Amino acid sequence: MPGPGFDFQLLHADGGARAGELETPHGKARTPLFMPVATQATVKGLTPEEVKAVGAQIVLSNAYHLYLRPGVETVRKMGGLHKFMGWDGPILTDSGGFQAFSMGPLRKVTDDGIRFRSHIDGSEHKFTPQLATANQEGLGADIIMCFDQCIAYGATEKQVRRAMERTHRWAQSCFDVHQTSPTGAATGQALFGIVQGGIFQELRDESARAISAIPFHGYAVGGLAVGENKEQMYRFTGQVADLLPPDKPRYLMGVGSPEDLVEGVARGIDMFDCALPTRVARNGSLFTPEGRVDITKSRYAEQQGPLDETCDCYTCRNYSTAYLRHLFRAKELLGLRLASIHNLRFVLALMERIRTSILENRFDAFRREFLDVYQPADEAARQRQKGQWLLSRSG
């Protein structure tokens, strides 16, 4: 049964890096943290027990997808999202704004919401701030997100400003609805506001001040990791985090590369989510302390030991690298599952090590040591992959 409401305690800071603790109706979570993505009430291919075993404290589900299928009312009748998916820990849901926006020509944005056609059957729907909030309240998540207007990378300053100002109005509407709803704030459910503003410094400042003026339970940095380069992402993340209330959690949306997690924490971020660890795992790309490797390469055909000798995940404790490569070459589903387990454990273990280093006042040293060894994916390749993924979300 749900317990007390939402709270955040900042326990220690080491420079800009922070260690804290979230309290939610479904348990506590230590920050900084990473949330595996359970888009349709499941982390693809894994059971809730397996997700918990790799160290996940919170998972993220998508209100857009669950609204379309099986429907918010169905989930509510089944006892809420926690019971429906068999996960007894905290859940965060996003509003569905990004998904509705990514419908491309199948959507139309107006001042009162986004009208779109379902990617499943073409039926027409409209999300408003009020409906997006009610949907998430109906799902019963511990943390829900404001409805915001996402804007494509490369948009003009005028276009970004228009979307940002709309996002601010929608944020106030979401807050007002949530405050008066019997299934919202009264139940201990937290609502986070989202800062927008694209890659324009003045707009980011303006948005951070406008959103933080509304007393949300936490604040998110949105509209990054959508095509800008890493230097830009890091710069705007730090800029926004410096303007957010220090006593509230800060969430960088859609970021999950190991090097980005380290750099995000350095800039004061407490929470992250991304489908990247499991998405690349299903394509045979696995994390190691030195960077990503392609498990299908011939060099791994006869490697007897685990892929990562330092990893304590189920995959590395029980199977050889050669066997894992064989599963991928044979197109066996077990390969996708074992790779997903490994990548999630790598990321979640990294967050545990980051937190320990903060509490021991040695985060800067940890950061240098990690980045000296870990080689990020090629930037051009990363941008191509991101573009392909964004295109697939809108098709």
Which amino acid, one-letter code, is at 5? G
Q: Which of 14, 148, 273, 308 is catalytic?
A: 273
Cα–Cα–Cα angle for 339, 343, 344, nearest 5°?
115
C-alpha–C-alpha distance, residues 171 and 282, integer Å: 36
Q: Read off the tokens for 38.
A: 């359970």
| Placement of tokens 């419908």 in the chain | 103
C-alpha–C-alpha distance, residues 54 and 56, integer Å: 6
Name the residue among 108, 112, 138, 137 with its Cα closest to residue 124. 108
C-alpha–C-alpha distance, residues 62 and 67, integer Å: 9
CB 348 within 8 A of CB 56: yes
The answer to whether residue 111 is catalytic is no
Parallel, antiparallel or unpaired: strands 33-36 and 59-62 = unpaired
CB 166 within 8 A of CB 143: no
* Beta carbons within 8 Å of 1's beta carbon, 6+ residues apart: none
Q: Which of 94, 142, 260, 270 is catalytic?
A: 94
- How many residues appear in the chain? 395
C-alpha–C-alpha distance, residues 243 and 207, integer Å: 10
The answer to whether residue 260 is catalytic is no
C-alpha–C-alpha distance, residues 175 and 233, integer Å: 27
Which amino acid, one-letter code, is at 45? G
User: Which region, left, alpha or beta, applies to residue 381 given φ > 0 means left and ψ of -120 to 50 means alpha?
Assistant: alpha
Secondary structure of residue 279 in the 3-state scheme: helix
What are the residue numbers of the active site?
94, 273
